[in-house]
């Protein structure tokens, strides 16, 4: 086997894994980070207003539900909301 054949074979074998990794990183890390901070704060305010001390638990449940439905961007959004609520609760 020539060196070029090995390179092509390796590219064909590893391409799906690389594409899947990039897609998961895009959906779970990059897109949620692009959600504006005011939108995250608004969601946190609404949960705190409606659920009070249980707001963090509700946000965690919504994060889990998004994970269960394989909605990675939504999961990342609720993770940011949950972290905002946790930050506020620790501050108070």
51 phi and psi angles, rounded to 5 deg: -115, -10
1-5, 32-36, 39-43, range with greatest mean pLDDT = 39-43
What b/e sequence results for 31-68 when a residue is b if at least 16 CB atoms lie within 10 Å of its CB, and e otherwise? ebeeeeeeebeebbeebbeeeeeebbebbbebbeebbe
The pTM for the full model equals 0.78
What are the DSSP calls for 50-85, one per residue?
Answer: HHGGGHHHHHHHHHHHHHHTT-HHHHHHHHHHHHHH
Question: For 47-83, what is each residue's pLDDT tens digit?
Answer: 999 999 999 999 999 999 999 999 989 999 999 999 9
């Amino acid at each position: 086997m020539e060196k070029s054949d090995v390179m092509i074979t390796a590219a064909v074998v590893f391409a799906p894994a690389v594409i899947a990794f990039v897609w998961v990183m895009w959906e779970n890390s990059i897109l949620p980070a692009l959600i504006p901070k005011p939108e995250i704060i608004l969601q946190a305010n609404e949960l705190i207003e409606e659920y009070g001390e249980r707001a963090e638990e509700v946000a965690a449940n919504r994060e889990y539900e998004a994970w269960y439905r394989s909605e990675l961007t939504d999961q990342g959004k609720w993770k940011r909301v949950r972290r905002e609520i946790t930050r506020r609760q620790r501050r108070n």
